[in-house]
A = this chain, B = another copy of it.
């Protein structure tokens, strides 16, 4: 019952609200790294509660698990992260979030333009290629919300 035998996975699950299976899954994806006790069971640091919470928040922001793993790689591996450490990666998160908001806002404003002008059909409508849509296999221009110019 020493102070630092670590948390069992169930305790961590209760603390974070995550399912036990999800925590194991995150480990498989390289997002968290517990140690094992004598019996082979996973044990976690208290700091891992914060780590998992960060993961949950980042997911709400729309980051994928690999992206979150990348962001978390900014934390020191050797010691328990300090508030400063967290602050640093939160800033990285904030940057991504700002970008997403900007993209959505631009999209909305374009939609507004279309609603306003009533076109909703011309290439000039520009409601497209907002940079998310990866380059498709085909080449050449892709018309959006309508036919080629003569429609």
Assess A17 versus B142: contact at CB under 8 Å? Given A90-B115, A94-B112, A101-B108: yes
**Residue interface mask A95-123, B partner, CB < 8 A = 1:** 00110110011011001101100111100
Determine whether the beta carbon of A15 is less than 8 Å from that of B147. yes
Prevailing SS type, chain A contact patch: helix
Give chain A's interface residue range (CB within 8 Å of chain B). Answer: 35 or more
Complex: how many Å from CA A85 to CA B13? 49
Complex: how many Å from CA A87 to CA B120? 8
Number of identical protomers: 2
Complex: how many Å from CA A81 to CA B86? 52
**A7 to B: closest C-beta gap in Å:** 10
Determine whether the beta carbon of B49 is less than 8 Å from that of A146. yes
**A129 to B: closest C-beta gap in Å:** 10
> What residue of chain B has the Cβ atom nearest to residue A151's Cβ?
B46
- Show the binding face of A for B, using Cβ within 8 Å: 14-17, 46, 49-50, 53-54, 56-57, 60-61, 83-84, 86-87, 90-91, 93-94, 97-98, 100-101, 104-105, 107-108, 111-112, 114-115, 118-121, 127-128, 130, 132-133, 136, 138, 142-148, 151
**A55 to B: closest C-beta gap in Å:** 10
Give 9 pairs: A residue, B residue, CB < 8 Å, sorted on A.
Answer: A49-B151, A53-B146, A56-B133, A56-B144, A90-B120, A94-B108, A94-B111, A101-B105, A104-B104
